Structure 1
Amino acid sequence: MNTSRHSQALIPWSTEIRNETALVCIPWAGAGATPFRAWGPVVGDAADVYGVRLAGRESRQTEPPGTVLADTVAELVREVTALGVPRVALFGHCSGALLAFELAHALRRSAGAPEVGHLLVASQLPPRAYAEAPVRSDDDLTRFVPEDLRSEPELLELLLPILAADMRLVSDYGHSASAPLDTRLTVVYGAEDEHLDRAAVDGWRAETTGAAELREVAGADHLFGGAAWPALAGCVRDALG
């Protein structure tokens, strides 16, 4: 594994780089790599944890956020391949689930890319259903802001433009006509999610010919806030096995 290369997009959160599998975690709209820092100690014995830091947030604030989904996916293909690992697991949360799904397909097509051993997605409609869903207005953006930050006007002023850019990135999402993946798939949803339930996410099964399972996390809302966030990490660790 290439541990000397510094990446602005993939942030290592495991205390030791010791696995042949890298877990690449793509956050929800507006978020960065930092929420996955706490996952390193939980998941680190199964996979080395990397948080994805897209342009426009955290240490990449001076970079304009991506506006073309294919370009963002292409950047991640380059970064993931440069890790030099034989195998990756991809996790995507909310809008990040669509990025993880497209990244899995792109890695499969890319010469020299690592094997995608597992795709894990949380809090997102299946790609086909998302592509057919009505486009949400900007009035809905605050639902992607953690509840404890919604009462902070200055933080909202910084977050909302990034949220808007991220939602534009997937607003015209069209489901790929590519053949289904053949990788293992785990779909996670919160028991208290007001937007999704088991029936809504079941369509993900059609996206792979490999083993697929649905997992519900008790007490979790759409963003897996509070105690549900470490519970989600534990769920991911269990799924990786």
Structure 2
Amino acid sequence: MCIPWAGAGAAPFRSWGPLLGDVATVYGLRLAGRESRRTEPPADTMSHVVAETVAELADLGVSRVALFGQCSGAVLAFELAKALADPGRGIDVTRLIVASQRPPRDFAEAGIAVDQDLMTYVPAEFREEPDLVELLLPIIAADIELMSRYAYEPGDPLEVPLTVVYGAGDEVLGRAQVDGWHRVTTGPTSFHEIAGGDHLLEGEAWLELAETIRVALE
């Protein structure tokens, strides 16, 4: 299951189906307020999103799942992995993969500015489409507001393998800023730098990200 960055939906992950089809079935998480759920009000609490997503996984009838989250989606993927750690859920998390995000504790301590330039969350290929940008910005703002209320709750570490990905050209964070992810799990942790990748890992970096995930899932 792939969880996108602020403002994004399931669409960015459609291209990954053929790339990952030999190791996994790809599901993109579509949160309220976007794409086919455009008329639904965006979620206002992380716990609501986690509970809704756990229910969706249960409805799919899966017994095992790998979780990928990018940017704000990485924090949600972590919280989802924590929720699924309950044996009563009956869903085994086989791997957690996160990209372009600080560890949850660091993210919560640093906070996130609700008055920042939201255009940084809009993929480059969409920035010259005014009508599309007009649709995206309110969704991004709602997601940023949601993440600004995130509170990290210490607890037992996960027991799942973890892959941490970051772009070599990311001007927001680098290897030092993502290092603390290894503390969230007792499982093996690997770090992967994508050459030429920016914060959103756009363009060719997006395909390299998919390949990194495919290798991690083999």
Shorter-chain TM-score: what band? over 0.9
The aligned amino acid for 1:60 is R
Contact 1:77 1:113 survives alignment (8 Å):
no
SS in structure 2 of the partner of residue 54 of structure 1: coil
| Pairing partner for 2:64 from 87, 91, 114 | 87
Q: Residue 192 of structure 1 contacts residue 218 of structure 1 at CA under 8 Å; is this kept in 2? A: yes
Q: Structure 2 unaligned runs (5+)?
A: none
Residues 78-132 of structure 1 deviation map (CA, whole Å, 9 limit, x = unaligned): 1112222221000001000011000000111262331011000000011011011
Confirm whether residue 183 of structure 1 aligns to residue 160 of structure 2.
yes
Aligned residue runs from structure 1 range 189-208, under 5 A: 189-208=166-185
- Asked if the contact 2:114–2:145 (Cα under 8 Å) also holds between the matched residues in 1, the reply is no
For the residues of structure 2 that align with 1:211 and 1:199, how far apart are their CA atoms?
A: 18
Where does residue 232 of structure 1 map in the other structure?
A: 209
Compared CA separation, residues 139 and 151, structure 1 to 2 (3 A): farther
Q: How many residues align?
A: 218
What residue is the counterpart of 2:138 in the other structure?
Answer: 161
* Structure 1 unaligned residues grouped into runs of 5+: 1-23
Identity %: 58
Is residue 196–residue 205 contact of structure 2 (8 Å, CA) maintained in 1?
Answer: yes
**Secondary structure of the structure 1 residue equivalent to 2:14:** helix
1:72 corresponds to 2:44: no
Q: Does 1:212 align with 2:201?
A: no
1:61 aligns with: 38
* One-letter code aligned to 1:191: A
Listed one character per residue, the Cα deviations across residues 154-202 of structure 1 (whole Å, up to 9, x for unaligned) are 2111101000111111112111212110000000000110001001000
Question: Secondary structure, in 3 states, of the residue corresponding to 2:56?
Answer: helix
The runs of 4+ residues in structure 1 deviating greater than 2 Å are: 137-140
CA RMSD of aligned residues (A): 1.1
Q: Does 1:145 align with 2:160?
A: no
TM-score by length of 1: 0.88
Higher strand share: 1
Amino acid in the other structure paired with 1:165: A
1:126 is aligned to 103
CA–CA distance in 1 between the matches of 2:90 and 2:11? 25
Partner SS state of residue 187, structure 1:
strand
Change (3 A) 1:82 1:113: farther
What is the TM-score normalised by the length of structure 2?
Answer: 0.97
